[in-house]
Homo-oligomer: A and B are copies of this chain.
């Protein structure tokens, strides 16, 4: 919105239209970007629009002495900065009984103690404030629904007021989502400001792990062979090294999706109740599992592509040819090794199956897909198939290692090969999960999750506190 809303006179500019008579009249306060984009759109859709502004100079050539009865307009769109709301207070009488649509956004989160819409409602208690349209892009406000701006979120305390706004929104071609009462305004005002909040942690983690393993393997493979064997294999950095780092990070992150669940289970077993809140770090962790998984999936896909281009890489082709040639030169052909065939094939196949399941998990986490699933179906896929995926991927890595675990040659400079490091967390998760699947443990856990609570005296007390956490003060009434 334009900054220079500061002069004192207030102007209202009606959009006279061919058949103005039978059209609903809307009023827009503020001739900033938002106000004008919205007005243009409303005008094109066939509404009669009246502008309210304090910038007469910006109002162009004016037919003198025209009067506008504001009362004719039931809806008033407030497209001015929160700083200028106080100016609206002066209009309180005129705005009494009107529906004020607060379209405003702030420059950053938590700038003010209360949401703009709530502030506006407080200023003009006589009006019915509805928060809405603020989640749309200026482009969408001007040209109608587009990709990320198909939905208009509205919230407000008066149902009729909301209904009126919803009518306008649908007429503009938007889909409307009612977010309940005005208390949701803050959430709606924060929405346009957010930039993948729940992706931060997973992405940082991915970056961190990638960086670490990159340098780790750089030292272990490239630099080592340069120092010790005095051989320059730096060209491997581009593809070979990356193709080691990605799967490692991917596997670790996949296992990190399932670790918190296991921890939570053991915590519930230990506490003997499900009604105690988890520590915050665990809650936060659980809430970004989906993102963790998707980032891991992305890395896994890269790993797949990197693997599939192996045979067309110059380096690989050269080595294969060289191998063949050397065989001929020395005139000794290595015999066919069936074990080797079994081993590599199963290594690849397990990998493929793991990746296939992984893709399935990714697809079912698409909003439209998960929406049509019952949560039983969803948890079946995400939990059961999820662990199966983890198992496949871990097994895939073990097969990769095969007997290298025993070869001292693979421990250069006392540094373990990368894939061994990547196996630690997944193995732990799988073992813990196995423990949880033991009949006795499983049954207890199930009962706890169905609300049952262990009741040894001193637990009981805790139990009460937890209960208090639920209803914070209980009383008895005999009907």
Give every chain B residue within 8 A of A305 (Cβ-Cβ).
304, 352, 355-356
Top 5 nearest A-B pairs by Cβ distance?
A33-B451, A148-B378, A368-B368, A13-B474, A66-B475
Q: Is the CB of B307 within 8 A of A336?
A: no
CB of A86 closer than 8 Å to a CB of B: no
Q: Is the CB of A11 within 8 A of B376?
A: no
Q: Is the CB of A321 within 8 A of B327?
A: yes
Q: Is the CB of B374 within 8 A of A135?
A: yes
Q: Is the CB of A372 within 8 A of B380?
A: no
Q: Is the CB of B348 within 8 A of A313?
A: yes
Hey, what's the 0/1 contact readout for A133-175 against B, CB within 8 Å counting as 1?
A: 0011110100000011111000000010001001100110101
Q: Please report the C-alpha to C-alpha distance between residue A275 and residue B325 in the assembled complex, in whole angstroms.
A: 71
Q: Is the CB of A40 within 8 A of B477?
A: no
Which residue on B lies nearest to A148, using beta carbons?
Answer: B378
Given contacts A232-B338, A239-B345, contact A9 B181 (CB under 8 A): no
Within 8 A of B (CB), among A270-321: 274-275, 290, 298, 301-302, 304-315, 317-318, 320-321
Q: Is the CB of B36 within 8 A of A370?
A: no
Q: Is the CB of A477 within 8 A of B12?
A: yes
Contact of A148 among B320, B379, B464, B469 (CB under 8 A): B379
Give every chain B residue within 8 A of A192 (Cβ-Cβ).
374-376
Q: Is the CB of A341 within 8 A of B235?
A: yes
- Least distance between A156 CB and chain B CB atoms (Å): 12
CB of A110 closer than 8 Å to a CB of B: no
Given contacts A312-B311, A322-B333, A471-B43, contact A138 B449 (CB under 8 A): yes
Q: Is the CB of B36 within 8 A of A451?
A: yes
CB of A10 closer than 8 Å to a CB of B: yes
Which residue on B lies nearest to A137, using beta carbons?
Answer: B375
Seed contacts A32-B451, A318-B341; 20 additional CB < 8 Å A-B pairs = A1-B450, A11-B478, A16-B473, A33-B450, A43-B472, A49-B471, A137-B379, A148-B370, A170-B179, A170-B180, A192-B375, A192-B376, A196-B377, A238-B346, A305-B355, A308-B308, A313-B348, A314-B337, A315-B341, A367-B368
